[in-house]
Structure 1
Amino acid sequence: MKTRFLWILAVLVPVMLVMSGCSLSPNRLPSVKAGVSADYEVTLKFASVLNLPTGADVMMNGLQVGRVKELNESKDGVDVVVGLTASRPVPADSTAIIRQNTPLGDTYLGFTPPENPTNAGNLHDGSVVPMSRTTSPPTLEDTIAVLAYFVNGGTVQKVQDTMVTLNKTLPQIKDVRRLASTVATDLDDLAGNLGEIDRLLTGLDGVAKSFPASRVQIEHVFGDQGIDYYKTVGYSLVRHIATLLPSVGSVFTGGLWVVPLLTSIAEAAENAAPIWPAGDRMVAGANDFVSNTLKPFLKNPRVAITSVKAKGSDKQMLADSASILRILGVVR
């Protein structure tokens, strides 16, 4: 009888499993990661949800804040009803996106809080997140197609060629090290002279602060008085230059008479050129005359008369002149 009972049990168990399998689906299985309570429900409108299953996690900042409860088709796309926990409030102006960390990983819904929080409050029971704040992911087929185009379209080869070109263009490692060493030395010098930079900045600050104190003078320079001054100077300068230029022109024009004079001087110099080779003898003779004749006479200027000759009646006058000079001691 025990054997008969085991046979009946072996037949009934598969039949029950087959009959119950008609109402069993993966979507009805509880999420193994569902660990938060669903205190209130929120509806999010998506254009598409890819393969987001019911029971998928709802994450925010790496923490689970709820799970997906229902997926309902609408005229604009898909309405995703999620159950959120009250212990982790979600800002009302957050954005939502369906994510999948890896192509074969689990799909989940992620909330992104705003960078600049507002006074919109938090999501509550019955809140609706519009499609303008939701992002639908691309389909897996599109992702694989893009990846295939990236691999087969030569992009990888282009990246490799670009890296090779960069390696050829960039300097050698030793040059880079030398440049880095020079830059480091310059930075050390700069750090050691921060006091000079502070002094320069202090001086610039002092100059900048002096402008308000000299406001009146600056206004005079760039005001109506300064403009009149510069206009007067410019007018006077241009007027004198305009007066001077015709005069300079008249000098150049009236100076044409100098041309014949310069021509004559040039011709005289050309004619005198043959006598210059005898110039050394002339200079030597002049030096000898000055040294041996002129200088001794100037030191002791006297004239020795050795004889006087006369003709006719002049002989008696000459004899009387000689007697007078002998009396005076001039003639011996």
Structure 2
Amino acid sequence: MTATLIRGVLSTAALLLVLTTSACSLRPEDLPSVRGGLGASYEITIEFESAMNLPSGADVILDGIRVGEVRDIEVEAGSVAVVAVVAEDTRIPSDIRAIVRQNTLLGDTYVALVREPDSRVTGFLDEGGTVPLARTTSPPQLEDTMAVLATFVNGGSIQRVQDVMAEVNTVMPPVPEIRNLAAVVSTDLRDLAGRTAEIDRLLGGMNATAESVNANGASLATLFDASTVHYWRRLATSVVSHIGQILPSVGSLYNGGLWLVPMFESLADTTDISLSDTSAAAQLSELLRTTVIPFANHPEVDIVGVESASGETLADTENVLRVLGAVR
């Protein structure tokens, strides 16, 4: 019984020693990932100035998709080398940028691979490729983030934001008016969107006009060069001089020519004849042939009598006419 008990105790101690030794060499990255493996992959190195909050096993994200994970972090002189494995079918541009990000304050930290906005890809990272320190951005220290957050919360910033929002609400119109305004703006934008063809036609016409002006630029330039300046000067001088002569004449006619108004009215009534009426046209032709033209050739007036304003015939008519020069 005693020997058997001793052997059992020794076996248990040996088993505990083996388990303890094995447990000491087991690291978190040695555990299988619950998200599944990457399959065939290749290894790249990303250099950061600091990677304090980046754990081993963190995701590597490209275009919002998990393409790899961090396998090891090595401290070097002046930088930290993050060794990551990437799926074999992932092509990473050689000018990629790497940023250590965290979606929320307490969320998981990961490495985001960001493409350059205006990049022209000339190559891709291969096995053992490196993203240099110049194209990486290290994460802020957690202590600094917590200090900024504490200053924001305890410094009255939240209360000031609330006060600003309250002031904005006091100057904003009532909600029904805002809804009516939004409805009007929505209708206007919908009408504008439905008439883009007219806008395109207007822009097309303006573009055609600009192209025409540009094509005839040499001809248009001759209108204002030194050889044609004298023409425009003479034209301006002539126009101004004629206007200067006409305006005083019109003014004198207006001021001293009121006596012509009855004559103009009578002339207008006389010439108000419809030429579509054949009888009126014949009468006009007869008047011109028998009266107007002969009078124009030999103007004379036959005085057959003289009466006073009261209608009485003057006795000495012949003497009066002789005085007037109508009778010789």
TM-score between both structures, scaled by the size of structure 1: 0.57
Deviation at 1:119, TM superposition (A): 3.9
Mapped to 1, the partners of 2:162 and 2:37 lie a distance apart of 47
Match of 1:112 in 2: 114
Which consecutive unaligned segments of at least 5 residues does structure 2 have? 243-308, 316-328
Match of 1:129 in 2: 131
Match of 1:248 in 2: none
* Counterparts of residues 1-332 of structure 1 (less than 5 Å): 4=5, 9-26=11-28, 28-33=30-35, 35-37=37-39, 39-183=41-185, 218-219=220-221, 221-232=223-234
3-state DSSP class of the match of 1:73?
A: strand
3-state DSSP class of the match of 1:224?
A: coil
Mapped to 1, the partners of 2:70 and 2:21 lie a distance apart of 28
Deviation at 1:48, TM superposition (A): 0.6
Deviation at 1:124, TM superposition (A): 1.0
The letter for the 2-side match of 1:111 is L
Deviation at 1:74, TM superposition (A): 1.4
Contact kept in structure 2, 1:37 and 1:84, CA below 8 Å: no
Contact kept in structure 1, 2:99 and 2:113, CA below 8 Å: yes
Contact kept in structure 1, 2:93 and 2:121, CA below 8 Å: no
Stretch deviating more after TM superposition (204-213 or 36-45) = 204-213
RMSD: 4.3
| Distance change >3 Å, CA 38–CA 223, structure 1 → 2 | same
3-state DSSP class of the match of 2:125?
A: coil
| Distance change >3 Å, CA 162–CA 235, structure 1 → 2 | same
The letter for the 2-side match of 1:152 is N
Match of 2:291 in 1: none
Which consecutive unaligned segments of at least 5 residues does structure 1 have? 241-294, 303-332
Contact kept in structure 2, 1:69 and 1:83, CA below 8 Å: yes
3-state DSSP class of the match of 1:222?
A: coil
Identity across the alignment (%) = 42
The letter for the 1-side match of 2:59 is D
Contact kept in structure 1, 2:95 and 2:121, CA below 8 Å: no
3-state DSSP class of the match of 2:162?
A: helix
Q: CA offsets, 1:111-151, max 9 Å, x none?
A: 22334453432111222211011111111111111111221
Deviation at 1:9, TM superposition (A): 5.0
The letter for the 1-side match of 2:155 is G
Deviation at 1:99, TM superposition (A): 2.4
The count of corresponding residues between Structure 1 and Structure 2 is: 248
| Distance change >3 Å, CA 192–CA 62, structure 1 → 2 | closer
Match of 2:305 in 1: none
Deviation at 1:153, TM superposition (A): 1.9
| Distance change >3 Å, CA 64–CA 227, structure 1 → 2 | same
